Amino acid sequence: MAKRSIRVVVIGAGMAGILAGIKLREAGFDDFVIYEKADRVGGTWRENTYPGLTCDTPSHHYTYTFERNPDWSSYLPPGPEIQDYFEGTCAKYGVDKFIRFNAEIDSAEFVEGRWHLHLQSGERDVADVVIAATGVLHHPSVPDIKGLEDFRGKLFHSSRWDHNVPLEGKRIGVIGTGSTGVQIISALAGKAELIEHYVRTPQWIMPVDNTPYSEEMRKSFREDPAALEAAMKTEEYLASVNSYTQVITRENMDAAQFWKATCLQNLEESVTDPVLREKLRPDHEPLCKRLIFSPDYYQAIQHPQAALVPEQIERIEADGIRTGDGQLHKLDIIVLATGFKADQFMRPMQITGTNGVTLESLWERRPKAYLAISMPDFPNFYMLNGPNGPVGNFPLIDIAEHQWHYIAQMLEKLRNGDCTGICASAEALEAFEERRIEAAKKTVWFVGGCKSWYLDAEGIPSSWPWDYNRFVAEMQQPKWVDFDMTGT
Ligand code: NAP
């Protein structure tokens, strides 16, 4: 039977949007466009260019399964290498010609069975299906610190690094102790006159060996893909992934001992000054916040041109940062490594589905979607890495591939003419949310009482609250009874 011709709009040409492009082509969809607001692909890897940027998950796991990269320079390769990987893969799979750059979408409305999209340029497009691949962490979170605008030096967010500002001979303050702040300190210690790290909450630091891969190893990975897969899935790696998940879901709190003991040993053995060591000692459960993997943070913070500032920030003044003990720390540059608003997704796009339902009204309390992918009243609108989607520390690239496998089955139904509209039913979403929130309240992110970007405005963890295997099982095939289908 002849297939229906379906027009697909993908929003965003980051890791997930490129994946969508590759998979659409592979499945023979040739009427699609990827709208990208910037002038290059890459998403996170295009926007973040701060010194020390690396992946915080192992590089060989941070690739598409169908496009491994035997040439990563190390376990945690630098950001520009990852950007090159995405640009290269995009070109190799012929996706670039489907991308419209500098094309930001303002709104999308479902009218008479199709999505009508308005671009900022004034242009319009009409599509049968919209795939939102807009990323999770891309709206900078600017902290509510008094006097931010009073600073006379240079101040910028880590994801908006100003490369015109020279660092040599400067006094730099970095606020924030997530992966970003830790990576910046590691990169800049000794490269500036002074680098101060403002640490409100000390983090557990997991040691990691980031020795570069030798040419010999890379050659063996190039010549033997099976050797690469085997190197990725060593027993040690699989055991640690399993144990990590068990701690998050609190199925086996004995497993927490391994993480705590390893991080504790790292702290005790790496930091020689007992006073500094105490200042760096976390007081929360490991994994209660996203665990930081770093080969060199403790070495960096002990550099003679680096300093830890554990005192709370009172305010920012013209010349620097005033801390709670009354001291003014004179600075030339302040970097806000203060993370992202993790609840934005496609916003500020205005999206209106059937019956006049808007995204803002559906998400009034919190962002939600059935299995992170589909929403009632938003037929044929699907998300990659949508709300409550991240699974533990697993790379989002792997998550997106599984989600695509699921979405592709809905696209096939539409293309086969089985129906013209598919979205999760309101009942299915509410039942899913109930189960999800109940499970989320049992995770270490909730029980541990930490603050982190994993929590929504009401303090409910907004990540996948079950284990990875359950996620993979759920992504195998849609349960069609959970979907409303129109035009059958
Ligand atoms: P983050 O983990 O959300 O950390 C934000 C930091 O800013 C926290 O230490 C927080 O302190 C601090 N902070 C916020 N407001 C503050 C204030 N008013 N005063 C003092 N400190 C304040 O952000 P991130 O480091 O950018 O990382 C976000 C996520 O991005 C990571 O978890 C990771 O998933 C991803 N990431 C990935 C990579 C990679 O793979 N390349 C690299 C970096 C980041 P509190 O802890 O006290 O709240």
Give me ligand 1 centre to Cα 348, in Å.
22
Q: How far is CA 341 from CA 51, 141, 347, 452, in A?
A: 22, 5, 11, 11
Q: Which atom of ligand 1 is nearest to the CA of 336?
A: 7
Q: How far is CA 385 from CA 14, 20, 125, 378, 443, in A?
A: 11, 12, 24, 17, 20
> Which of 56, 248, 280 to mutate for ligand 1's pocket (most ligand atoms within 8 Å of CB)?
56
Is the minimum distance from the CB of 55 to ligand 1 under 6 angstroms?
yes
Give me ligand 1 centre to Cα 179, in Å.
6
Is the minimum distance from the CB of 82 to ligand 1 under 6 angstroms?
no
- Give the count of beta carbons closer than 10 Å to the beta carbon of residue 84: 16
Q: Which atom of ligand 1 is nearest to the CA of 137?
A: 30
How far is 331 from 131, CA to CA, in rounded Å? Answer: 44
- Give the count of beta carbons closer than 10 Å to the beta carbon of residue 207: 18
Four-way CATH pick for 148-336: 3.50.50.60, 3.20.20.80, 2.60.120.10, 3.40.50.2300? 3.50.50.60
- Asked if 83 and 46 count as a contact pair (C-beta separation under 8 A), the reply is yes
- Given this model, what pLDDT does residue 1 score? 64
Measured distance between the N- and C-terminal CA atoms of the chain, rounded to whole angstroms: 16
Give me ligand 1 centre to Cα 99, in Å.
31
Give me ligand 1 centre to Cα 141, in Å.
9
- Asked if 403 and 384 count as a contact pair (C-beta separation under 8 A), the reply is yes
DSSP assignment of 204-272 equals -EE----PPPPHHHHHHHHH-HHHHHHHHT-HHHHHHHHHHHHHHTTS-THHHHHHHHHHHHHHHHH--
Spell 104-134 as b/e; 16+ CB within 10 A means b. ebeebebeeebbebbbeeeeebebbbbbbbb
Q: How far is CA 229 from CA 62, 155, 238, 288, in A?
A: 13, 43, 12, 30
Is the minimum distance from the CB of 136 to ligand 1 under 6 angstroms?
no
Is the minimum distance from the CB of 146 to ligand 1 under 6 angstroms?
no
Is the minimum distance from the CB of 177 to ligand 1 under 6 angstroms?
yes
Nearest to 337 by CA among 444, 180, 451: 180
- Asked if 41 and 63 count as a contact pair (C-beta separation under 8 A), the reply is no
pTM summary value: 0.96
Copy the structure tokens of residue 110.
Answer: 């479902």
- Asked if 316 and 154 count as a contact pair (C-beta separation under 8 A), the reply is no
Q: Which atom of ligand 1 is nearest to the CA of 179?
A: 25
Q: How far is CA 247 from CA 51, 250, 415, 446, 448, in A?
A: 32, 5, 42, 12, 11
Copy the structure tokens of residue 121.
Answer: 């340029």
Report the chain's C-alpha Rg in angstroms: 23
- Asked if 321 and 328 count as a contact pair (C-beta separation under 8 A), the reply is yes
Give me ligand 1 centre to Cα 58, in Å.
19
Give me ligand 1 centre to Cα 253, in Å.
25
Spell 245-269 as b/e; 16+ CB within 10 A means b. bbbbbbeeeebbeebbebbeebbee
Is the minimum distance from the CB of 77 to ligand 1 under 6 angstroms?
no
One-letter amino acid at 136 equals: V
Residues constituting the chain: 488
- Give the count of beta carbons closer than 10 Å to the beta carbon of residue 154: 16
Per-residue model confidence as pLDDT tens for the chain (488 residues): 678 999 999 999 999 999 999 999 999 999 999 999 999 999 999 999 999 999 888 899 999 999 999 999 999 999 999 999 999 999 999 999 999 999 999 999 999 999 999 999 999 999 999 999 999 889 999 999 999 999 999 999 999 999 999 999 999 999 999 999 999 999 999 999 999 999 999 999 999 999 899 999 999 999 999 999 998 989 988 888 889 989 999 888 888 899 999 999 999 999 999 999 999 999 998 899 999 999 999 999 999 999 999 999 999 999 999 999 999 999 999 999 999 998 999 999 999 999 999 999 999 999 999 999 999 999 999 999 999 988 877 889 999 999 999 999 999 999 999 999 999 999 999 999 999 999 999 999 999 999 999 999 999 999 999 999 999 999 999 999 999 999 98
- Asked if 129 and 9 count as a contact pair (C-beta separation under 8 A), the reply is yes
Strand-pair category, 105-111 with 99-100: unpaired
Strand-pair category, 32-35 with 105-111: unpaired
Domain boundaries, the chain: 8-139+342-486, 148-336
- Given this model, what pLDDT does residue 488 score? 85
- Give the count of beta carbons closer than 10 Å to the beta carbon of residue 434: 10
Name which residue sits closest to atom 18 of ligand 1, judged by CA: 143
> Which of 59, 72, 157, 180 to mutate for ligand 1's pocket (most ligand atoms within 8 Å of CB)?
180
For residue 348, is the peptide bond before it cis, meaning its omega torsion is within 30 degrees of 0?
yes
Long-range (24+ apart) CB contacts under 8 A made by 209-216 are 209/75, 209/295, 210/54, 210/74, 210/75, 210/76, 210/295, 210/296, 211/74, 211/75, 212/73, 212/74, 213/72, 213/73, 213/74, 213/75
Give me ligand 1 centre to Cα 413, in Å.
41
Give me ligand 1 centre to Cα 119, in Å.
32
How far is 51 from 48, CA to CA, in rounded Å? Answer: 9
How far is 286 from 248, CA to CA, in rounded Å? Answer: 10
Residue given tokens 């897969």 in the structure block: 229
- Given this model, what pLDDT does residue 47 score? 96
Under CATH, which architecture does the 8-139+342-486 domain have?
3-Layer(bba) Sandwich (3.50)
- Asked if 19 and 400 count as a contact pair (C-beta separation under 8 A), the reply is yes
Q: How far is CA 203 from CA 45, 76, 140, 377, 451, in A?
A: 24, 19, 21, 42, 12
Is the minimum distance from the CB of 137 to ligand 1 under 6 angstroms?
yes
CATH topology identical between 8-139+342-486 and 148-336: yes
